[in-house]
Every structure is written in C-alpha cells, then in structure tokens.
Amino acid sequence: MRMINLIVIHCSATRENTDYSPERLESDHKARGFLRAGYNFYIRKSGEIVDLRPLEQIPAHVRGYNKHSIGICYEGGLDASGQAQDTRTEAQKTSLIRLIQHLLTRFPDSRVCGHRDLSEDLNGDGVISPDEWSKQCPSFDAIPEYKELAYGQRKR
C-alpha cells in the first residue's frame, strides 16, 4: 500500500436538483484523459458509497497532492441555480463521517480537508482564506467539520 497522509473532500459541482451517476462521472473523467474516475470514492445523494478507484491506486484529484492522498467526492455542491452551496443530504453527511472514520482507522496520521483548502497561499500567511480559493469545492468547511474525527483517532 502506498503511504497516505491526506484525505481530500470534493463535490461533483453538479446541481442539487440533478442526478449525476458514477457512470457519468467516470465517462466525464475519461473524456478528460483519465484511465478511470479520478476519485477513490463517490457518495450519492442517497448516502450510497461507491468505490471508484482502489485505494492502492493513486487518485487524480488535486494537482501536487495525489500521490499520498485519498479523494472522496459527494454528489452535488451547487444549488438549483448553479451557485456553490453545501447541498449534502443527511444521508451523505452520515456516510462521509462513516467513511472518513474508517479511513482514519487505517491511516491515522491523515489530515482531512476540502479541495479548496489546498489552494495556493497567495499572501504567505499560512492560512488559505476565502479570497485565495481557486475554486469553491467542496462548498463547505471540511477542516473544522472533521477536526474532531482526526483528533479522536490520534488520541487512541
């Protein structure tokens, strides 16, 4: 198994009132030249967790961070008018926690963050502030939301 120290949350950047199947996601990624879907996991609005890329395979989801990371994408992230919004259903929130918890058991030294938290620190203050986000993905603040999970894991 490759070394893993980072779990990155994404959204599919599709509208909450549309369905975006894993098959469609995979074919869209193939159209961009990937061999298969770039993420390791996909979480449907129903909460279903779909395995896209085996963990031992390096995902293709954040430039410069792929090698040691895991990519999780949830279906949604845009409101009905196409604006970035946290559209996670309760089932998706539950599945995200379950999956992240499981992954932290296997890779306890991993940091959990959102895609946008890996934007470039333009003013070099060590904090990626909203004006530095190169994109909105995953449309919610993943670091504070999953902080306790990672901390709880390391405490044991």
Binding residues (CB under 5 A) for Zn ion: these are 10, 115, 137
* Nearer to Zn ion among residue 77 and residue 107 (C-beta): 77
* Nearer to Zn ion among residue 45 and residue 133 (C-beta): 133
Cβ neighbour number for residue 47 with a 10 Å cutoff:
17
Shortest distance (Å) from residue 154 CB to Zn ion:
25
* CA-derived radius of gyration, the chain: 15
Amino acid at 146: Y
CB 119, CB 128: distance < 8 Å: yes
CA 133 to mean position of chain CA atoms = 15
Copy the structure tokens of residue 50.
Answer: 């779909």
* Nearer to Zn ion among residue 72 and residue 150 (C-beta): 72
Shortest distance (Å) from residue 145 CB to Zn ion:
16
- Give the C-alpha separation, 2 to 30, whole Å: 24
* Nearer to Zn ion among residue 110 and residue 153 (C-beta): 110
Shortest distance (Å) from residue 62 CB to Zn ion:
7
* Nearer to Zn ion among residue 135 and residue 154 (C-beta): 135
- Give the C-alpha separation, 143 to 23, whole Å: 29
Shortest distance (Å) from residue 156 CB to Zn ion:
30
Pairing of strands 49-51, 41-43: antiparallel
- Give the C-alpha separation, 90 to 118, whole Å: 26
Shortest distance (Å) from residue 135 CB to Zn ion:
7
